[in-house]
Structure 1
């Protein structure tokens, strides 16, 4: 069948942020007082945490609370029925950092240039929209980051689109983990993370979560993802903001306020160009339910010291 959505380009979206936005993002994903490079603007090493593009893709140039549903429903994709953002959850995310972001966008003309990679009709379960987002300084033409990810629209399938490939889970290494650590999702963590621009009511209003079958509020998938990224940089990159080059994962289950995530990490045997590749997954402690799977990251040797 024809795929009129293939390579459909969304209108370029302007992106702005201030140093206070950088501080907010860094603190919301768990950066600590002994990491002044992330939590104090006066530190000579003050830096944006490398996964900030995952927050900026929702924030864009907004400085106030936005209508999440209205904003996400503005653009129709050719050949795809109108999808309801009220039934939207994350599928997966991969972010690649080409160049560290400045701590403020002032003096730049940042924008996201995005296109649809694929759309899959998964029948009764819903529809998957897979996209690619480049964060670019339009003034200089420099590319800073690329995000590839999927959004899943629950219960909005059966419209005759391609089924797409099966989601086969990647096998974890058949050996003991090299590192195990825990990440806490506080009762207010999702409320704080929303201030980065992802104002989906699913993460603040219990009735929305109940309607989608989650029993109440659930955390942003990318909140746990970013908290884990922070711990990887802290523990394997010695807190160096430039140590993380890539990270990816698939969202496998909900995380609720108050949950603790147990993260299992395996270092890969082969280093390429001095870079270390790791594989990881995360489960909710107590239930053992997997919430993030197929996790990977690429780390380069640290350049600064940090008290860990």
Structure 2
């Protein structure tokens, strides 16, 4: 069968070394819409995302993308025990946990493991975990962040495997503490793909139609970064150092030109939230669910 859990689960995907600079941080922040509001070019809080120098900070979601930031080929899917088609794959969920403020430049290694495969009947869910550590001349450096992600592979379930489990995030039955929106620009996906994800699903209309979409869709990780930035700005005074982790489930797609509505609640020492399409024919369509922002 295309997926062999006995081979895949526990497989070591190896270690890779990567470097980044302040320019990469700036491009990433621009790719997720930083500096978009009127007056942001004069705002110290906004410039903390978009101006290099001592005031530059790094959103934790940058840790998810930086290991492949300089890639120019579509993401490979040569996972042990998994013979799958890129056109059948969508991002299922993503989390990142940071162990301190991320540096604006540096070199690190990331070690990645396939941890689980779930059988959802008509689809498979493949989980990966990556641990990033700084590179030190004196030996192994400090742990910087940990990521955990899943991909949803349509048409590859049904072998009778573990279905997995999850606990939905409960949203408070009250007015949100933040209710904001972001208008996705028509060229947003084309800009964000310069952050290391050249999947043609986000740029090539013919590829998108073959995958079952009427047009290229926005990267799920772009929506992920947008929502984190909006919640950080609205509820944490734009201070990325107050974020120790961010997790979300990719609940639907966004097309460039649509608007994302983001709501967030302070609850039990963390922030929980949701994101939907705000207006138009698809108003109310889910974008991100089970949103949890952990606080440092």
Render the CA deviation track for 1:172-206: whole Å, top value 9, x for unaligned.
22222222111221111111111110111111011
Question: Which position in structure 2 is the counterpart of 1:289?
Answer: 285
Tell me if structure 2 keeps the 8 A contact 1:130–1:149: yes
Gaps of 5+ in 1: 271-275, 301-308
Gaps of 5+ in 2: 36-40
**Runs of at least 4 residues of structure 1 off by over 4 A?**
none
Q: Give, in whole Å, the separation in 2 of the partners of 1:26 and 1:282.
A: 19
1:53 correspondence with 2:46: no
Question: Which position in structure 2 is the counterpart of 1:305?
Answer: none
Q: TM-score, normalised by structure 2?
A: 0.87
How is 1:86-125 mapped onto 2 (pairs within 5 angstroms)? Answer: 86-105=87-106, 108=107, 110-124=108-122
Q: Give, in whole Å, the separation in 2 of the partners of 1:163 and 1:7.
A: 15
- State how many pairs are aligned: 279
Tell me if structure 1 keeps the 8 A contact 2:178–2:231: no
Question: Which position in structure 1 is the counterpart of 2:38?
Answer: none
Question: Which position in structure 1 is the counterpart of 2:247?
Answer: 248
* 1:161 positional shift: 5.4
* 1:121 positional shift: 2.6
Q: Give, in whole Å, the separation in 1 of the partners of 2:5 and 2:239.
A: 46
Question: Which position in structure 2 is the counterpart of 1:303?
Answer: none
Q: Give, in whole Å, the separation in 2 of the partners of 1:120 and 1:233.
A: 32
Tell me if structure 2 keeps the 8 A contact 1:99–1:143: no
How is 1:69-148 mapped onto 2 (pairs within 5 angstroms)? Answer: 69=75, 72-73=76-77, 75-77=78-80, 80-105=81-106, 108=107, 110-124=108-122, 126-139=123-136, 140-148=140-148
* Aligned equivalent of 2:73, options 49, 64, 67: 67
Render the CA deviation track for 1:16-35: whole Å, top value 9, x for unaligned.
11221111011111222322
* 1:149 positional shift: 1.1
Q: Give, in whole Å, the separation in 2 of the partners of 1:244 and 1:36.
A: 18
Q: Give, in whole Å, the separation in 1 of the partners of 2:67 and 2:262.
A: 26
Q: Give, in whole Å, the separation in 1 of the partners of 2:294 and 2:121.
A: 35
Q: Give, in whole Å, the separation in 1 of the partners of 2:163 and 2:63.
A: 27
How is 1:142-221 mapped onto 2 (pairs within 5 angstroms)? Answer: 142-158=142-158, 160=159, 162-166=161-165, 169-221=168-220
Tell me if structure 1 keeps the 8 A contact 2:178–2:235: no
Question: Which position in structure 2 is the counterpart of 1:19?
Answer: 22
Q: Give, in whole Å, the separation in 1 of the partners of 2:57 and 2:278.
A: 32
* 1:211 positional shift: 1.3
Greater fraction strand: 2
Which deviates more, 5-14 or 250-259? 5-14
How is 1:227-242 mapped onto 2 (pairs within 5 angstroms)? Answer: 227-242=226-241
Tell me if structure 2 keeps the 8 A contact 1:137–1:144: yes
Q: TM-score, normalised by structure 1?
A: 0.84
Query: SS at 1:123's partner residue?
Result: coil
